[in-house]
Amino acid sequence: MTRLQKIWTLLFVGAFFLTGGCSRKQEAPAKAKTPQIALSCIGVLPVASGVDQETGTSPAEAKSLKEGARVLDSLLQKQFAGRDDIRYVTHSQMQAIESSGPESSLARSRNVGNFLSCNGVLEVNLWRYKDRVGGQYTAKDPASVSFTYRLLEVNSGTVICQGRYDEVQQSVMENLYNFSSARKRGFTWITAEELLREGVEQKLGECSYLKPVE
């Protein structure tokens, strides 16, 4: 074998091992993904009006919360329109389920799950619902809403998704980061119902189990 042939042989062998080393790095096993919890269906409880235990609730605030809960119930039904795996509990059914006596929130949700034959239950609490004072362009006080939600797998008690939406509309001058939202709203002061709709779409849309039909 000539000297030139030896050089080419060494270069070929070296390239083979170098390529083999690179291939082994690329073939490292991927990390296993955490499997999602399977839900047979999701039972949606009527929206509950939350009460601040420290400050209490005035008659006017209680009235607003009652109206807001009605609005939020309607928005949830629109969010889940077309989904066959969503089932709703009426207020009268909820009263019958709760009539057995005081129980924990988890026990109540399990009773709802058994009633609907679902292992998923969605709980929503409305804490604040204040409509704007004034018109679209001259609001004295802006709309303000706050709600929380959590989705439970009732057999294990696992909280699959949860979140909080707490929003008071601000002008663009008050918060320049809200420019995109202000443009979407047409640079107007929106109502509490419209603000609540944005919250439902935003927060529930973050949970894969609660997204609307596309």
Q: Which residue has the tokens 């509990």?
A: 89
CATH number of the domain to which 203 belongs: 3.40.50
Amino acid at 177: Y
pTM for the model: 0.75
Indicate whether 67 belongs to any domain.
yes
Is 138 contained in some domain?
A: yes
Range of the domain at 71: 42-210
Secondary structure (DSSP) of 26-81: HTPPPPPPPPPPP-S-EEEPPPEE---TTT---HHHHHHHHHHHHHHHHHHHHHTT
Residue-by-residue pLDDT tens, the chain, 214 positions? 544 444 444 444 444 333 333 333 333 333 333 458 999 999 999 999 876 655 667 888 889 999 999 999 999 999 999 999 999 999 999 999 888 766 788 999 999 999 999 999 999 999 999 988 766 666 567 889 999 999 999 999 999 999 999 998 654 344 444 545 655 655 467 889 999 999 999 999 999 999 998 7
| Domain presence at residue 37 | no
> Is residue 75 one of the residues assigned to a domain?
yes
CB 203 within 8 A of CB 146: no
d(CA 81, CA 213): 7
Secondary structure letter of residue 200 according to DSSP: I
